[in-house]
Chain A
Amino acid sequence: MNFLAPLFLLGGLAVALPVIFHLIRRTTRERKSFSSLMFLMPSPPRLTRRSRLEHLLLLLLRCGVLCLLALGFARPYIKKALDTAQPSGNAKRTILLLDTSASMRRANLWADARARAESIVRDASPVDQVSLMTFDRQLHELITFDEWNRTAVGERVALAVRKLSETSPGWSSTYLGEAIISAAETLADTRGKAVTGPRQIIVISDLQEGSRTEQLQGYEWPKGIELSVEPIKPRHVSNAGLQLVTDTDDTGSKEVTSIRVRVANASDSKIDQFKLGWTTGDGHSIAGQPLNIYVPPGQSRIVPVPIPTNALASLNPDRIILHGDDEDFDNTVYVIPPEKSRMNVWYLGTESDKDPHQPLYFLERAFQETRRQMVQVFRGDTNLPWSLAVITEAISDSAAKSLRDNVVTGKTVLVAIKDTQIAATLAQLLGVERVNLSEAQVHNYAMLSEIDFRHPLFAPFSDPRFSDFTKIHFWKYRKIDTASLPNARMLAKFENGDPALLEVPVGKGKVFILASGWQPENSQLALSTKFVPLLYAFLEESGTTTPPTSQYYIGDAVPLNANETGLLVHPPSGSELHLSPGEAIFSQTMAPGIYTLGAQAGRRFAVNLDAAESRTAPMPLDELERLGAPVVHQPTVATYEAQRKVRLRNTELEERQKLWRWFLLGTLAVLFAETWLGGWTARGAPSPEAANP
């Protein structure tokens, strides 16, 4: 039974009043005079045996009158099953977008989101169409519209519940904007059919500040599609996240003694004191003495965590944890200490390294040891592996031949022509018959112009702030006849068109030819700010650069070396993943932790949570609207119209059935019975008080 005016049912609560008055009859009609009440205290009302049993039937009849009146005034009607069906023309198409990003792993969020999604599915009418999708970094379809339509009406809710139970939040970041756009385009795609019913997207998410929504800006929202948001609120708001800070390869310290981490406290956090430290074993307790840090809400602090050197170091701790906040999903950061790369530069020259007028002096001082790399310049015959060879003067034929053999296998040589005597060595190196070199006539000085900034060598200088080479003056340079070097690529020219820097491929390697020396006698190159980065660029061109990074984020693609394809990957979960031969990247970085390639001693890399997921404070409610999404706060006109039709239908039902008349008749009958019984009781039945005077 339903009611048109259910508020009148509150009048039924008045039934309690006669019960209360009936049981607790404090005042009695009997009065006695007494000389003085100075020795008497009032007695509390008492439930007497007589007050419970006396006139119980009358009490029930009077309560029945009140209840029947309340029911009648509430205008009851019986709703028939057919009347609840909506016309098929108003079928709603809804896409439920459920957030499964890492921030949804917090305490109660996923359970609440699931419950909300199930509730929305249950409220859908038989003609409505619902598609269930989850999103984090990507959009995943759990139930498509076609699958929904194929499923029997009575089984749809069960299908949705089953799909939701098989899903859980992952570790990825929240790409909310992309998910909404994908859902909107899915709804907008009507496949040529006319759509009359409302279309809406319902987003169920914690709407944290770290959600990526930039894609919504500038997106042209399709007409007729509404966006509704169901924010899920966490029970605990105090959250601080831990992220690894990439080390700057500065020269302040040659050894890595600490790992820098950032502790970011959410803006709505209520806690500001935390503990930090290395952990081993279970990963929940801090080993050794923890660091106490203070981070106010909405701010972050970078804390250097010393790398353990004592007994703790023998346990090889590989993660740093944070204690003190309410949520621990972002309190662990996995660390693989970076390796220091060592590179050798072979200088083939005879001058003293202490002579400031010679190239070697500047070459040795250009490469400073850092935490990430150490470049050593050595001279003379050596069996040391080298990354780059530098020639500034003529060398013996055997040396030149040996050098060429190395270049052919893939090495890189830089020839900085100090004088024209090097022509034979150059020809031998390049494998040509002859290289024509002549001393250029420089009037005053020459400058570099027409630099090929597309080449990786000069790409770092492409920014207009760094692309001005005119301040580097060349007093002397050698004119190189490029006719004898048909494969040479001009990387830089002087302003008169003479080549300044050439790249000549030789076999698998390459030879760079600089027409001048960098020592002050020839130019200002060694004294310019571009000298050191240019040298490092030559090193990079040699192919032996710093080792690949060992720190990644969830969802990042990890490039594999040539010798790593086809190997097994051991993710943190303990399982094994097989890489296909020829697979150059590993993209299954779905969980944070330490991954190992191949055997136990193979390359390891760490995958950590995206820092944006730690920004758990909810975004402003109008943020999506500001980005142009048509967020609905109130029921739309269509919804109002549907509700109005339902109300009209219910009113017609009630007017047809007129059940209130029967309740009124019942009230009158009960009143008649109560009146008769009351009169009979007052007349005929002797009261117990009269029997006991």
Chain B
Amino acid sequence: MSLALHTRESGSSLISPKALMSIRNLELRARVVVEGFWNGLHRSPYHGFSVEFTEYRQYTEGDDPRYVDWRVFARSDRYFIKKFEDETNLRCYLLADNSRSMGFTSLNYTKAQYAATLAATLAYFLYLQGDAVGLLTFDETIREYLPARHRTGHLRHLMLALEQPAVGRATDLASPLKRIIEVVRKRSLIVLISDFLAPIEKLETELTALAACGHEIVVFQVLDPAELTFNFDSASMFEDIESGRTLFIDPNAARKEYLQKLEAHFNALQSSCQRLGIVCKRVATDRPLELALFDFLRERMQRTRGVKRFTRQRR
């Protein structure tokens, strides 16, 4: 199923990342994206799009009335049992790369800000669905770990953790995955957000182990448009943000080889993910975040068995 986004004459469209990033509050940013995403879905001519969430089940005789979700009843006049977060089927861990390489940008906002917004958007979206969301930020070590919860104030903690600046001098992709393997025993959704500008040999090993644990894994590779096109024009001393190493580079001479190597690196990552049944998406930081959210949902939808209708009630 493909989703065609409809743009009205009034100018309602996908929110430009530049405008979005001008919102300083991360939670507000995430909310704007999610609501914008829902608005887009609402106006979509393709009614009937729905995603089934298995967090609710219809009340049946004998269920404990204490677990009836009264808000849903108020909205729908139907009795639904809300599962406790421990009992929810979806538990999501967002693994966000916060190394210094994520601090690169050719725009007005860094990759780290975009990745944080993406993670915040996903966290907000899932939280709204009643899913438990956890967070793990890393660079060359694990900086912050928040277990998956769906409690009051937990989302706020997530947002605060995502707002931390990137300080690491290197990127270790394997350690956060090892940590998840160690602490997360139940089947969960693992979303890995990074630029993956590091050797991926060890990553494949950990991803294999993670996939073997039964987790569902989604990988977002966040890259700046300058990294994707290497559209520099003048020969300069290029400095590595993480290591500080400098090289004299003539972009006109080096561009072709750079793009070839970058593509080869991404293809290697893709191949590894495909072998493990992992969804791997490349996201440019100048691409509206709604599209990233859409990709996320579409992939998940394709994975779940059957489709149930879901309607969102406006608050």
Contacts and interface: CB of A to CB of B under 8 A. Distances in A.
Interface in B166-210: 195, 197-198
Interface residues of A, number: 20
Contacts of A42: 247-249
A43 B240 contact: no
Interface in B219-267: 224, 227, 232, 234-243, 245-250, 253-254, 257-258, 261-262, 265
18 contacts: A28-B248, A31-B236, A31-B239, A32-B232, A33-B239, A34-B227, A35-B111, A35-B195, A35-B197, A36-B240, A37-B240, A39-B258, A40-B249, A41-B247, A41-B257, A43-B253, A45-B248, A46-B235
> Which interface class (under 10, 10 to 19, 20 to 34, 35 or more) fits B?
20 to 34
Nearest to B100: A35
Contacts of B240: 34-37
Contacts of A41: 247, 254, 257
B118 to A, nearest CB: 17
B262 A43 contact: no
A45 B247 CA distance: 12
B249 A43 contact: yes
Nearest to B111: A35
A355 interface: no
Interface in B279-299: none
Interface of B: 101-104, 111, 195, 197-198, 224, 227, 232, 234-243, 245-250, 253-254, 257-258, 261-262, 265
A43 B235 contact: yes
Contact of B246 (A31, A38, A45, A689): A31
Given A30-B234, A31-B239, A46 B245 contact: no
Main secondary structure of the interface of B (DSSP, over half): mixed
A35 B227 contact: yes
A39 B239 contact: no
A689 B250 contact: no
Contacts of B101: 35-36
Contact of B224 (A30, A35, A38): A35
A46 B239 CA distance: 20
Contact of B236 (A30, A36, A46): A30
A163 interface: no
B296 to A, nearest CB: 24
A43 B241 contact: no
A26 interface: yes
Contacts, number: 85
Interface of A: 26-28, 30-43, 45-46, 689
A84 B253 CA distance: 63
Contact of A34 (B234, B241, B248, B261): B241
Given A38-B197, A41-B254, A42-B249, A32 B104 contact: no
Contacts of A45: 248
The interface centre, meaning the residue of B224, B246, B261 with most chain A CB atoms within 10 A of its CB, is B246
Given A36-B197, A37-B245, A28 B236 contact: yes
Nearest to A39: B261
Nearest to B227: A35
Contacts of A31: 236-239, 246
A39 B265 contact: yes
A35 B104 contact: yes
Which 7 pairs across A and B sit closest by C-beta, in order of nearness? A35-B104, A43-B250, A39-B261, A36-B197, A30-B236, A35-B101, A37-B240
Contacts of B224: 35
A87 to B, nearest CB: 67
Contacts of A34: 104, 227, 238-241
Given A33-B241, A35-B197, A35-B227, A40 B258 contact: yes
